[in-house]
Structure 1
């Protein structure tokens, strides 16, 4: 009897995995854009799989829609606790870096930061409709609100994220070239080359999470940013920093580097009209574990 039960359980798990695994990348995209955390997104998708195994799948007409609803609802619950944690976070909070060989233009890092200012329902409605292309009837079924209410949620969200969309998007290869040049200038102490890359309103946002040295507030403006780089020139040259790879990080050109303390750093650059307007540096080791 136990052997038979074991075979049934194994078969059931394989059947569930067979229909779930092709959808896993899409579900991870939804979860990550909802939460901004790789590990949390993976947890939500895994929880959805556990629930999928316990579902009568013969009654599910559209597995992708069913699982997207499940993941979104799990993320809505997770966002409530995540928002409380971010209220006590040390310094600027940045989403965990996702490194890709090609840029992903649907949700860039600045837009993800804009999404942080939304309510969980606004965030879900905007992502599902504006980013993933679902109609409002499907959005309504997912977040359990009326279609008219979902339209209002998405409209309010759009106002907040409009300014986060790039005005003058840099050509892909040129963006990577600027990222590599920025690494060389900033780590080599070439102040003249560095100053030529920065916009007048450039800013630095460094996320150390209280676990590695980082400014606990954004550094704003050309003069303040250049003062920081000039002050750190000797220290950086003496201690060294090694380039690991140039890549797109959360849709922006950037790089991964191995710093003097033996820890990784992910740096993403927001570039407009050929100038760097924002520098986002993730230094919190908890947010970089998946990159190892």
Structure 2
């Protein structure tokens, strides 16, 4: 009887999983395969694709705009890991044991309710040459009243990273607070009895116990920074002169503005490979550290 039930349960499990697998395949894998095919063609979206092999990738590597996009994308990666993640951890730790800590964290959470496009629209009124920031500096008689925050690279990218930090700080704080709440109380209390406090307590007890969550938070931030698009497009559209483009913006411009779907698909494949490799290298290094600790 048990032998008959096992194959039946196996078939049922396949039936339960199949819709999800089909859903993922249709929405993720098939579009990527189509994009990979288009990257090997010359295609304007109207005529039939013409196979050109690896020509688009050769043109991509010779494109000077690619170096700017890669530089700006790296700035986004470094800035995202240092600011939204680092400051989120700091706010979470400092407010965790405070009475009414939830209310202290609330102002950091509110900006996350804005979309990337909405965030870019709000800050475009603040950071433009005649925007709120310059008008306020001028009214107060402070230096910098004529600063071009978004006119020159890489300063415009740094300004947008700060805007991104303002939005993402809250969600990272929330994730770290959840991690702090999941830490067993016994090791912390034992460390406090032994005289540990402040930095010592955080470095030797709290931080190691939060390591699994930190790996997830940093991994999500890494992928998000590599794919940055909406806030850059709304604030600068990658300009002036493509000086603030990221790989995501380059992909969009070449595909939907220049109508060069083959070349844009090559940028998309390049971005996918970079994101996959970065995620793989990061997760592999963290797993090796975990194995070494074990």
* TM-score, scaled relative to structure 1: 0.25
Structure with greater Cα Rg: 2
| Greater helix share, structure number | 2
| Greater strand share, structure number | 1
Indicate the structure whose relative CO is greater, using CA pairs within 8 Å and at least 6 residues apart.
2
